[in-house]
Structures are given as structure tokens and as C-alpha cells.
């Protein structure tokens, strides 16, 4: 960490600060410039409160020079992480196509959609059983029954399944689910992240509604610091002042996350836009900028979907999209 002092600081105050920093076990390298003195702190500064140091009278600015995230940092782990789910691999050049309805509604529905998306080229089946809804009066998902139905669809099609977990309590119910999803609203539910870090399940971690990339990577760090390195990052749109679209899909996060971290990065164009006809162009764009996969909502009867029908593709449209996605993947090789 580098601490830049204000101009013309009294020698005595500077010495007090240096002494205090040394009392915290840090080495201090003093570099007196023409106008300003810079202190270089040596040692483990990760627990030092940057804001506090910056608030001191004699301090101008503080700059952390070592990254605060470690497990997910590409600097310390240059090779791409590849997350495996049965035969499916995600990351490191392996593209993952997750598809399915927002909510599991019935056995017929989910099996029908599962067969359709598999035929179209999907390799993982999504389906929500526990649904986080802004309003307590909206449909909250089938819960345990939804998970059971999802497993039947897996048996019928061979597709591994992914579903959202909202609560540490529900962990036993998810024992036989292949990938556990953490939703945007829970990205900083740290107790949930810690518990998921104690499992060896692949975790799909969605970026929070208004979180920075650093916060996103710190949340991944909560999982990884507990020993579970199977984390998949998912960009799903951020909150801005957008007028015609629900959120703003931040696709530049994809190459930037790839630069910062070795974890796979996938994109959810369905939640990002909230409008089915915007999903294909944004899915193509995500592929073109290097995403490791896509998670897309597909429903056989959008007007009667119990949730998020407006953003669901019909199976036939999904199939057409997959063809284009494959062509783009070929084009950018």
C-alpha cells in the first residue's frame, strides 16, 4: 500500500503515523519527493483500513497496490479454470449452453422443454424451484417439488441441471442438483457463500444488480476461500437509468473479468434485457466478445409462463439462435 502525505507535513506528525503503522507490524519505506512524501507499506496490509488512513489529517491519498482478491486472481493462477459437470466442461475454450424455463411448473412442461433444448444443442438444463420475487404476492416457485421434477427431466434427457438456492437451510435439498445458482440479489449474502464454499458443487454466481467487478470477484473469493474453486461467474445486466430495457447488459465485463480472473464467465441475456426479441442479438454479442457460455430462458408457451414469460424464447427460436452462436464461435476462432 502506498500512502501519499500532504505537502509540508510536520515532521512530528509524520513520525507518529510511521510509528503507528510499524506498531501494526508493517514495514514502512519513506520516499521524500520534491513536494510530497510517499510511504510504501511492506507486509500484510490486507486488514489495514484504507479509508481510515485516507481520512487522517496529514494524508492526501492512499493507493492499494496489491490486489485484495487472491484465489480467483489470474496473476496467481494464469491458466483458465475449467469447471466440470459430468461430461460438460465450462471455461478454457469449452462453451456451455444452459437453457430452460424460468420456473419449473409441471413435469410435462419441463420434460418437453428439456427435450427441445437438448435437440437444439443445449448441454445443461435450467429450471427455478425457489424464486426470489420482488413482491411477496408473486409466485414463489414449486420449491422441493420443483427440484424433484427437474431431476426427472435430467433422467429423461441426460442433461445436468442447475437451479437457484436462496438459503443455507435448503442446502440438503440441493444435494443431487448438479450446479447451484446464486442469484443477483444474494451475491453479497456472505453466509450463504461461505456455506457453498464448503461443498464441492459447481456454483454459478450471478453479478449483483449494481455491483462492481471487484465486489463480484470478492464474492467469488468468499466461496473459494472455503475450498470450493468450482465457481462460474455470470453477467446478467446492471441497473442504470435505461428507459426501454430492464437492465443494461455490461458485456465489457466479459473480457475484463477474463483478464482479472481465471474463472469461466457466462452471460444471461434473458434477465439482462427482459424482452425475448432482444435475447438473440445480445446472445450473439456475448459470444463474439468471448463469453464461455450462455444461460437463456426457453419456454414452450411464453404467454402462459408463471414467471418471466416476456423474456422467454420459444424452442424453435432457441434452435435458430444456437446455429448462429455456433457460426460466431467459428468466426472468432
Residues between 279 and 298 that touch a copy of itself (CB under 8 A): 281-282, 284-290
The residues, any chain, with a CB within 8 Å of residue 223's CB and separated by 6 or more, are 193, 194, 196, 197, 203, 205, 231
SS3 content of the chain, % helix, strand, coil (to 5): 40, 20, 40
Instruction: State which of positions 198-257 bind a copy of itself (CB under 8 A).
Output: 208-215, 218, 221-222, 225, 238-246, 248-252, 254-256
147 near a copy of itself, rule: CB under 8 A: no
Contact by Cβ (8 Å): 162, 102: no
DSSP per-residue string spanning 220-236: HHHHHTTT---EEEEE-
Residue number, 87 or 333, with CB nearest to a copy of itself: 333
d(CA 328, CA 80): 21
3-state secondary structure of 131: coil
Q: Which stretch binds a copy of itself (CB under 8 A): 41-49, 89-97, 108-116, 119-127?
A: 41-49
Residue number, 155 or 212, with CB nearest to a copy of itself: 212
d(CA 36, CA 256): 34
Residue number, 86 or 316, with CB nearest to a copy of itself: 316
Residue number, 157 or 247, with CB nearest to a copy of itself: 247
Q: Which of 85, 101, 308, 322 binds a copy of itself (CB under 8 A)?
A: 308
| DSSP bridge pairs for 3 | 39, 62
316 near a copy of itself, rule: CB under 8 A: no
Instruction: State which of positions 66-85 bind a copy of itself (CB under 8 A).
Output: 66, 68-69
Cβ at position 233, least distance to a copy of itself in Å: 14
Cβ at position 37, least distance to a copy of itself in Å: 10
Amino acid at each position: 500500500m502506498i500512502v501519499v502525505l500532504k505537502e509540508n507535513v510536520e515532521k512530528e506528525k509524520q513520525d507518529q503515523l510511521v510509528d503507528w503503522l510499524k506498531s501494526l507490524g508493517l514495514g514502512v519505506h519513506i520516499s521524500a519527493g520534491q513536494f510530497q512524501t510517499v510511504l510504501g507499506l511492506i507486509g500484510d496490509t490486507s486488514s489495514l483500513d484504507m479509508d481510515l488512513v485516507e481520512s487522517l489529517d496529514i494524508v492526501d491519498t492512499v493507493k492499494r497496490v496489491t490486489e485484495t482478491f487472491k484465489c480467483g486472481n489470474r496473476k496467481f493462477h494464469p491458466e483458465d479454470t475449467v469447471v466440470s459437470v459430468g461430461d460438460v466442461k465450462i471455461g478454457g475454450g469449452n462453451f456451455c449452453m444452459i437453457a430452460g424455463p424460468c420456473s419449473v411448473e409441471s413435469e410435462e412442461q419441463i420434460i418437453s422443454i428439456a427435450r427441445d433444448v437438448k435437440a437444439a444443442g443445449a448441454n445443461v438444463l435450467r429450471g427455478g424451484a425457489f424464486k426470489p420475487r420482488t413482491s411477496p404476492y408473486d409466485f414463489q416457485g414449486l420449491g422441493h417439488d420443483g427440484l424433484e421434477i427437474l431431476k426427472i427431466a435430467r433422467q429423461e434427457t441426460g442433461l445436468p441441471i442447475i437451479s437457484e438456492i436462496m438459503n443455507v437451510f435448503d442446502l440438503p435439498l440441493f444435494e443431487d442438483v448438479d450446479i447451484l445458482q446464486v442469484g443477483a440479489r444474494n451475491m453479497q449474502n456472505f453466509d450463504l457463500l461461505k456455506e457453498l464454499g464448503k461443498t464441492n458443487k459447481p456454483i454459478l454466481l450471478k453479478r449483483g444488480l449494481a455491483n462492481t467487478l471487484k465486489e463480484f470477484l470478492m464474492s467469488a473469493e468468499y466461496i473459494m476461500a472455503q475450498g470450493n474453486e468450482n465457481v462460474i461467474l455470470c453477467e446478467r445486466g446492471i441497473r442504470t437509468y435505461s428507459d426501454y430495457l430492464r437492465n443494461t447488459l455490461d458485456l465489457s465485463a466479459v473480457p475484463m473479468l477474463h483478464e482479472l480472473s481465471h474463472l469461466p464467465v457466462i452471460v444471461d441475456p434473458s434477465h439482462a434485457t427482459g424482452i425475448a426479441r432482444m435475447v438473440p442479438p445480445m446472445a450473439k454479442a456475448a459470444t463474439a466478445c468471448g463469453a464461455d457460455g450462455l444461460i437463456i430462458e426457453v419456454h414452450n408457451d411464453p404467454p402462459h409462463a408463471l414467471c418471466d414469460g416476456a423474456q422467454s424464447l420459444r424452442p424453435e427460436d432457441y434452435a435458430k439462435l444456437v446455429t448462429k452462436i455456433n457460426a460466431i464461435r467459428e468466426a472468432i476462432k
